Structure 1
Amino acid sequence: MIGKMLGNRYEILEQIGIGGMSVVYKAKCHLLDRYVAIKVLKEDLTNDEEFIKKFRKESQAAASLSHPNIVNIYDVGYDKIDGKDIHYIVMEYINGKTLKEVITEKGKLSELEALDYSTQIAEALKHAHKNHIIHRDIKPHNIMITEDNIVKVTDFGIARAVTSSTITTTSNVLGSVHYFSPEQARGGYTDEKSDIYSLGIVMYEMLTGKVPFNGETPIGVALKHVQDEIIPPILENPNISPSFNKIILKCVQKRQSDRYQNVDELLVDLKNIYVNKNGVSSDITTDETLDMTRLIPPVSDKILNNENKNKKNNINRNTKGETHTKKKTTVVAIISAFILTSLLFVGYLQLRNSFSNDDYIVTPKLIGISEEEARKKAEDMGFELDIVDRVQSSDFEEGIIISQNVEEGVKIKPGYPIGVVISLGSENVEVPNLVNKSITEAERLLKEAGLKLGNNIDYEFHDSIPIDYVISQSIEPYTAIAPNTRVDLVISKGPEVEEAIMIQLVGENVNKAISEIKNLGLAIGDIKYESSDNYAANIVMEQSEEPGSTLKPGTKINLKVSSGPASTPPSDPNVPGGEETPGAEEFSINLTVTPFADKDETEITIIRKQDGDTSTVYTKKHKSTDGTFDIPVTGKKGAVFEVYYDGIFQYSKSIEG
C-alpha cells in the first residue's frame, strides 16, 4: 500500500499499526494538506461478508462520536487498487504514543499520572455510553497519549450500539483476553459495566506495571477472569493510595451488579481523590469497602485460627462489634490481618497502643529481606511470621519479602502474626506471535512484551511471505519466558527470482530497450546520447552488458543512444516530429517528486522527449527523509518529461507553452 493513492486524495506514506481486522497507515490528505491515519481492512477479510459488516459498523459507530478524548473520524471510503477491494476509514492522526508504550517505558506510572489518564478515559467512555455505544476492547494499546498528555481513545473495532439483546456469543468472543470482563469470557451479556471492568484492569496495569492475570494460553487467562480473585494492586505497589485501590477493586468485581453502575459514579470517586486530603472518597461506604476488599488471595487455616484468637481480645474493643454479624466480624478480621491498605486495621492498632505501652513489640521493617532472615527476626523479637502469599515480582529477587501487613514502627503484642508476601522472582512474559509481521512490527511487539530482538536474524527466500516479514521465530508464540529474553527471527527475502539472461538491445529504439530491460527484472542505468552517422536518432548504439550474460535481478543497464548525425539540417517545423526553428522559446516547469518512504534512498531520473530526441536531464539519489519537493526542468513547447523512481515509471508531464 505504500505510495498508493486512495480516493484520489489520500497518499499512503507508512504503516504505523496492525490489529485483528485492519492495518493502520499514516497518510497525506492532498485536498486539505494534512496528515491522517487510515485504517484499511485486511485483504484476507475483504471477501468475508461478516467482517465487512463489522467494519462498516465500526465506521458508523465511531463517526457518531465527537469528544476531545476520542479520536475523530474524518471519512469512510472504498476503492479498488490493482484489482483488490480496499475498505478504509480516515481518522485523526495522533502524534504520540500508545498507553502501552508509556507503561513499558516507565515500568509503572505515578498515581497522579494514572489518575489523570483514568479520568480522561472515563470521560471518553461516558460520552460513548450516552450515545449507546460500548467500546468492548478497552486496553492500553487502544489508548493514545499525545505529546500534551491528552488521552485519545481509538479503535472502536468491536463497539456496537447497545440494544436490549446485546449478547456476545460464546463462539465469537470479542475483546483482548488480558483486559476483557468475565461476562465477555463466558460469552454472556455485555453492557457499559463491561467497559468499566476493562478500565479497571488498565488502571491496575498503570499503577503496578503488569496485568493481574496472565497465563500460557488465551483460554487460560480468560478462565482466570471468571474464576480467580485479583490480588489488590496495593499489594503490588504499596505507594498506591487506599482510595485508588478501592476504586480499582470495585471496577473489577466479577458480577456486573457489584461494579460501578455507570461511568458517572466512577468519575465522582476519581475526582474526589483530588479534593480529599486522605485520598478516601466520601462516596465509598464501609459496606462497599468490605465488598471490595474481600477480593484477596486464599487465606490459610493457620491465619484464620490466629485471627479468631486475636478477635476476642481486640475486635470487641469497638463498641459496634456487638451489633455486627459473625460473617461481617470474620471479614473485618481477615481485612485487618492481610490488607496493607486497611486504615481500620492501622487505626485499631494505634488505638490499642494508647491503652498501654507495656509488653509491646515494635514492628520491624521486613520488606527487602529474605524469608530466612525474617524468620530469625520473628524468633528473636517474639512475633509470629505468616506467609500470606508468594507472587512473581520484577522488583524483588526470589525469596525476598515484598510487602507486610503491619507497618514498620507499629506496636503489637508478643505472638501477634505479621503477614508477608514473598517474591517468586521475575514474572514470566508471554511471547507474541511474530509470524507474518514486518520486522519493524515484530521488534515493537517484542519490546511491548518485555522481550528483545535476537542477535541471530537470518534471511531466506519464501514464496508467499513478503520481503522483510517474519517467516519463523526461535521461541514458539504464547510461550511464557523470562523478561528480556532474546527471540531470533527468520526474515523473508521474498520469492526466489531466477537470474536474467541479457538480450541484444543494440539497434533497438531506446523506448523499446527500456521496456525490455524492465521486463527482465533489471534496472535502468545511465542513458547517454551521442551523435552518429551510422545510427538514426533514438537508436541504441551500445549496452553495458553483453547479450547472453547472466545477471542478478535489479542489475543496472547503461545505454548509449544515437542523437542522429552531427550536422543534420533543421527539418521543416510543420512536419510532425520535426524540429522547430532555431532559437525557439524554451519554458520552465516544476516536476513534483516524493522518494519511496520504505527505502533509504531512491534514484530519481527525468527523461525529456523533445523534437524527436530523448535525453536524460536529471538523475540523482534522494533520501526518504527529503519528503516531497519540486525539480525545475526546461524545454520547448510540446516537450514531454517522464519521471522514474529507481527505473520504475511514475508519471509524465508536457509543456503546453
Structure 2
Amino acid sequence: MLENRYRVDSLLARGGMSTVYRGLDTRLERPVALKVMDSQYSGDRSFVDRFEREARSAARLHHPSIVAVYDQGVDHGADDDHVFLVMQLVEGCTLRDLIQDRGRLPLPLALSVLEPMLSALAAAHRAGMVHRDVKPENVLIGTDGSVKVADFGLVRAAASAGTTSGSVILGTVAYLSPEQVTTGAADPRTDVYAAGIVLYEMLTGEPPYVGDTALSVAYRHVNDDVPPPSGVLPELPAQIDELVLRATRRDPAARPEDAAAMLAELHATRTELGISAVPVPVPAGAERTAQLAGPPSDADDPPTEQFPAVAATTAGPQGTRAMQRPAVEPDDRTQEFAAVATPAAASPRRRARRRVALWTAVVAVLAVLIGGAAYWLGTGRYVDVPRVVGKPEAAAQQALGGAGLSASVSRDYNNSVPEGVVVSSSPREGSRVLSGKQIDLVVSLGKPKVPQIAAGTPLAEAENTIRNAKLQPKHDDSADQYHTSVPEGRIIGVDPAPGTRLDISAPVTLIVSKGPPPVKVPDVTGASRDEAFAILSQAGFDPYEAGQQFDSGVDGGHVIGTDPAGGAEVRLVGRPRIGVVLSNAVTVPNFSGQSVEEAQQQAASLGLTLNVQDIFHRPNAMIFGQLPLPGSRVQAGSAVNVTAF
C-alpha cells in the first residue's frame, strides 16, 4: 500500500526513471496506474519539490488525448521513501508495441496516431508546459483505439535532481532535438522535433539515427539533417517528406512554432492528399496494460553520467537517459583546400588552335540550346514557393504572384498569430512546384471572439454557437439569475462579454434565466373573504378557500391565515394557488332590552342557544343581563346565559 490508500498490484513496466504498477485506489474503488520513481530520487529534496509542482501542472491538463493525473505523493516507509504518481489506467499497449508488432505503419494509420499526439501536445503548450520526452513508449493506445500521451513534466522534474548536473542530457537519445544536446534548452519546438522523429519511425519502422553509442546518435542530431522518409519508402508523397523535414529542422526557428502549428500543417497535408482517419488498432494478444516507463524489462539504462551504449540494432525503444552533454556546436567544421600548380601545356600550331576554337564555339552553342531546352522541359517550369508564413495576407498574395503562383485562402482562429496574417501554406516554403500552381494559405482570424447571443436563446443553441466560435461553453448553476421577461432555462447573457477575445477552447460562462423572481405572499389576515381574494388575485396568485377554523380574535368570515403564509416568497410560475383559511367565530349580539322570545329567535339564527333565568316566568319578561358579554366571539353552538325580569 502507498499512503494507506493505493494498493500496489502487478508490475506493468520498468524504465530508467521509474517502475509502473497496476494498482487500486481503495478509497474510490478505482483501478489506477502507479508510477513509482527510482529510489535515487526519493531523498532529493529538489526533485521532490519539482516533482510535486510538475504533477500539479499535469493534473490541470484536461484533454481526451492526455493520460489524466489523479494524485501524487511520497510514501514514507520503514526502509525507504517512495515518490509516486497516480494516473489513469489505460488498457491496451504503447505505440512501441504497435511498431514492433507491425513494423512500418501504413500512412493513414501513422497520421491517425500523430493527430491526437499533436492535439495533446498542443493542449500542453497552450498551458505553458513542454513534454521534453516524446517517444513511442510515452504514447498509449487504448483497446478502444484512443491515443493518449503520458509522462508530462517528469523529465523536467528529474533534471532538477541533485543527481544530475548542467552538463548532463536528460531524454531519450533517438528523439533528442539538437538544442537539447548542445544547450539543454527545451521549448514547444523541442516536442515538435521529437514528434517528427516519431512520425519518421512509424513510416519507416525505425528512427533516422542509430549508432554504436548514445553520444554518436546525439552527434547525428546536431550535425546531420534528418533524411526524408521517402528514402526508405519511395512511394511516400512529397508532402509527407515536407511534413517530416519541417518538423525536424536543426534550426528551431525553421520548425513549426508549437504542436498546434504542426497540427494545422498535418490537417492541411491530409486534406491535400485526401487521406481520411482510420481506427488505431491494438496488436493481437496485447494483454498487458500500457503505461509510461518503456519496455517491461530491466534492460533500460537508469540515469547516469556515463555514456550508455546504444546498439545499432536496438536504437528504437530507448528509455529516458542521462548522459554528458558533448561540447559541440552544429556544423562547427572547417575544411582546408590546397592549391595545385600545373605546368602550362605546350603551344600547338596556330591553325590547329583556330580549328579547335571553332569547334569549341559550335559545341558551346549546341550545349546552350540543348541545356536551355532541357532546363525548360525539366526544372525550368518549376518555381520555389516563397516564404509567406508570418506575412499579412496582401503581402503574401503579392509574393506568390511575383513567383508566378496563385493563392487559395482559408481562414482559421489562432492564439498567437494576429488576424490577417498567414499561419501556414501548402505546399510549404521552399517546395518546388509548377509555375502557376495554386498555393493553399491559412490566414489567421486571430483569437476567437465571444459571440453575441440574444436574450431568450435556448441553452443548447447557445452552446453550439460558442463551440462554433472555437470556444468552450460552460454552464454554472451558481451564475444563473432571475429574470422578469426571459423564460426559465433560456439565455440571459454570457461572461466574458460579447466581443472579448479569448484563447481557443477558453471557457465562456452561459448565464441562464431562473424565470421570474419570487414574490412575497400578501398578508391578508383579518380581511374579509372577498377583500383577501381580490388582493391575492391582483398579486398574481390564484386564491381558494382552504377551510374554516375558530379564532376568538377574528370575526367570522374573515381571514385567519393563508397557505403559504403571508410574507413567504413564491415563484410566479403560472398562477400559484394560495389557500385562504377563514374564521367561523360567531359574534355574540346584545340581547339586553329584548323579550325572551325575540332573543331566542336571534340566537337561533346565529347558531347559538339561549339559557334563560327569569324571576316570575312571565311570557312578556325582558332581558336585562347576559354572559358572554355582547361583542364576544364564540364557537357556533355555544350557549349564552341571559337574565330576564
* TM-score interval, smaller chain: 0.3 to 0.5
TM-score, normalising length from structure 2? 0.43
Query: Based on CA coordinates, which of the two structures has the bigger radius of gyration?
Result: 2
More strand by share: 1
TM-score (norm 1): 0.42
